[in-house]
């Protein structure tokens, strides 16, 4: 069975909105990850994108990423533009970005079926609403969070007012920038 892996950057107060500054970004604190960039983090992120990954995205993140990555080149852009992308949306009519598949109907059930198909693990980037919905149905197998030593005081929070979910620490690693990678698995006792 394929695993669903969440990978997100968040602040100490849980904000995940606008981690990088892009020309069309409207969030007033956009780009908050940029001052903390380090070679160690780039190596970690490069390892994460070096496989033949599959992405699972909600509509908002899908449209944001499509606009951001389509005109770019380089290793990260090449990965994003060529990765298999599954999009969960009730409003999108088509998914035109290269290698994209629109999941029609009940998103939770579509993801449940996707997990049963052969293939590698599936990563969720951004997509807070989708992540919380899948979390409610115990469909997420791992959470990798890059926690930045920063409090923004405003912005969309990754977990919002999520119900109680028990997790167990799988890995923790501090980077010289002060960013801490914490990877958790659901504590399914």
| Spatial strand order in the sheet of 142-148 | 100-103, 84-88, 54-58, 122-125, 4-11, 142-148, 180-186, 167-174
Report pLDDT for 21.
80
Closest by alpha carbon to 19, among 108, 122, 145? 145
Residue by residue, pLDDT tens for the chain (189 residues) are 899 999 999 999 999 998 888 777 788 998 999 999 888 887 777 666 555 589 999 999 999 899 988 998 888 888 889 999 999 999 999 999 999 999 988 999 999 999 999 989 999 998 999 999 999 999 999 999 999 999 999 999 998 777 788 999 999 999 999 999 999 999 988
Q: DSSP letter at 35?
A: G
Tokens 């998914």 locate to: 95
Distance of CA 147 to the CA centre of its chain: 13
Please say whether the beta carbons of 136 and 94 come within 8 A: no
Please tell me the distance from the alpha carbon of residue 177 to that of residue 40, in angstroms, as a whole number: 9
Please tell me the distance from the alpha carbon of residue 100 to that of residue 182, in angstroms, as a whole number: 29
The two tokens of residue 72 are: 């770019």
Task: Residue 139: give its domain's CATH number.
Answer: 3.40.430.10
Closest by alpha carbon to 69, among 149, 140, 126, 146? 126
Reported as type and span, the H/E element at residue 44 is: helix 39-49
Report pLDDT for 49.
56
Report pLDDT for 77.
84
Domain that holds residue 69: 4-186
Torsion sign (Cα): 128, 153, 185, 171: positive
Domain count, the chain: 1
Its pTM stands at: 0.90
Please tell me the distance from the alpha carbon of residue 119 to that of residue 3, in angstroms, as a whole number: 10
Angle of helix 75-82 versus helix 39-49 axis, rounded to 10:
30
Contacts of 21 (CB under 8 A, 6+ apart): 30, 31, 34
């Amino acid at each position: 069975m394929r695993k669903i892996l969440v990978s997100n950057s968040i602040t100490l107060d849980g904000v995940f909105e606008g981690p990088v500054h892009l020309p069309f970004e409207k969030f007033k604190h956009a780009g908050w990850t940029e001052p903390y960039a380090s070679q160690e983090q780039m190596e970690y992120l490069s390892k994460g994108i070096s496989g033949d990954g599959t992405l699972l995205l909600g509509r908002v993140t899908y449209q944001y990423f499509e606009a951001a990555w389509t005109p770019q080149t380089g290793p990260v852009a090449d990965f994003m533009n060529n990765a298999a992308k599954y999009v969960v949306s009730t409003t999108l009519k088509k998914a035109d970005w290269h290698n994209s598949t629109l999941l029609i109907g009940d998103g939770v059930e579509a993801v449940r079926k996707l997990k049963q198909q052969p293939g590698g693990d599936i990563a969720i980037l951004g997509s807070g609403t989708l992540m919380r919905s899948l979390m409610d149905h115990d469909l997420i197998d791992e959470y990798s969070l890059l926690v930045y030593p920063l409090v923004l005081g405003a912005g969309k929070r990754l977990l919002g007012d999520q119900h109680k979910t028990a997790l167990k620490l799988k890995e923790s690693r501090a980077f010289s920038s002060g960013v801490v990678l914490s990877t958790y698995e659901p504590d399914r006792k």
